[in-house]
Structure 1
Amino acid sequence: MLITLPDFAYLLGVPTATARLRVIPEDFQVIETLSFEPSGTGEHVFLQIRKRNTNTDWLARQLAQFANVKSLAVSYAGLKDRHAVTTQWFSIHLAGQAGDKLNWQTLNNETVQVLQQTRHERKLRRGALRDNQFILCLRDVTGDHQDLENRLTQLAAQGVPNYFGEQRFGHNHHNLQQAGTILLEHASVADRHQRGLYLSAARSFLFNCILSERVSRRLWNQAMIGDVMQLAGSHSVFPIKEIEADIIQRLQMFDLHPAAPLWGKGENLATADALALMQTVLAPYSGWCDGLIREDLTLEWRNLRLVVNDLQWTWLDATTLQLRFHLPAGSYATTVLRELVISEEYSFEN
């Protein structure tokens, strides 16, 4: 089946400026910060690695091969962009002195550099990040500079809609097409990892549809009657029946964010107006929703508002704009960029 992504609603309207992104890998830099400090002891070797134009999964397999362990012994907190320069942590399960005898620096080459080595008692789990720092360079920027700076000021003050980035849906939306065959045609996919990617793409798509409708109604950062609220920096959620003054104040202070579901089995906490909006948006995708429940995925919640922390910008010259900001784990820098410029991305061979 053919799925076409809708033009999800913009917070500030379609940008008038254009720019080129990733002309070179150094134009897109990501530095992750763990949510904990490795203890220095334990069965798991932790490596901080800077990689250039390198796929995270591919590098994890290279680490496993170098350490002579199974691929499952290597883990990381999150996938990082391939066409970029990214700094991230990996853990390798190596009990005893085995890991200490390996010279990890021999891995260094023009695309990979081991920056730090330590140990910890437990493996590195997905999502175990405090945040990601982004340093992006937009080249050949055209359009009204003042409008672009006004947009930056607004994003710094109020954040952006927390859309899943298009990369979630795969090249030419392949992941989404495959999800449709699984959910609507009961197709089988032998590779569990790939199957998981496809189903995650489906849940992300449905979330984006709900968020887009709320952006259109200017309710993406406002409470609705019957809404579900998520505590900032937490996965904790709670439903509200009425929009009380305390809820409004906490939303203004960024202590709370409205949330929408990542579809699956389990209780939908939304009621009243919030539930009605959700049902209207998802009605054309009832087969997808039923399929996700059949696939035994558990309903989860994701906040609708993405706070762009420490947003700074500098004009390196008349047409080159550098951006610096921090985002929490699970969010997308491209979601920030889509509110600023229409970007043309370049690609590189690994």
Structure 2
Amino acid sequence: MSAEHLDPAVLAALPPGSEIISIAQHGKTNWSTGLRIDVNVNDDEQEFFIKILDRQDAAQLAEGEYEAEKALIEYIPENVVHPIAWGRFQDDPSKAFFLTTFRNLRARSPSIAQFLPILKKLHQESVSPNGKFGFHVTTFYGASPMINDWTDSWEEFFARELRSNLEYAFRYRGDDPELRKVADEFFAKVIPRLMRPLQTNGRSIKPTLCHGDLWDGNIQIDVDTKQPVIFDACCFYGHSEMDLQCMRDPRYAIGLEFVDQYKKEVGMSEPHEDFDDRNAVYSMRNDVLTAGMWPQWAPLLQRVKQEMLRLLAKYPDGLAGFQDPREKGLNGIAA
């Protein structure tokens, strides 16, 4: 591919005076075409990576990823790709692009010792610009748009997101009246039981910048710096434990051992006793959307249904059955 094949909007996003040295397809992307662009700028060779999106919501996808990486770079600049620009194609506005600096990445998962301090820094130092849960633009979990409208309630944010995820899966895998019925009871009982105590009776959670899709496929090692680099972000300000959602499933390389270490070094939100069940609920989001995006993973919806039934059996009275550990002694006697 040569310079004349690049859209004028892409050429305009490159540094002024750029002379194209080479353009080559690079990387494996599910929703876009990836290219490496090498340029010469005043005898200085520079390398860039571009995603070209040719699908519905292309511009929103490009903007969402640009803004997500821009937010991440404020806290962990050595561990993310550096966003440069996004925009619509000039010659075909149905297409869009997202331009970054090029990083020479190796598809290898980092060790816990390498990656945990990075996630700890992001979660502990990031601050929501308005103290609320949400994000200022739509971001996308794969091809599914998130509902990022700002809210003070984490329960509200998560419930509307998971409902939207289920509708996305039903749209592509067909309706499931039984799962709908189970989900209605689940939203009425389990979601309030596990989410509301996070922000009641003196407890609070800080809206933390979450990567949003943190699995080993989105974490690689920079060959030059030897540092872990995360990419393909769908950021939002949310409950930090959401970034552990993919790690519950053994199909992922970064798993429960990382979660256990995170609990020790970063900590758990109160009530601590609910951590594992919150993690189970958060992992449903990933399973539902994975099933919706990939036909071969459709059976995950049955697993979600079984998990919902398990938690409904554990919390049959919903929030009404919550016994606040702050109001009890260790033996269940009022303190």
Give the TM-score normalised by structure 2.
0.24
Give the TM-score normalised by structure 1.
0.23
Q: Compare the two structures and name the one with the higher strand fraction.
A: 1
Q: Compare the two structures and name the one with the higher helix fraction.
A: 2
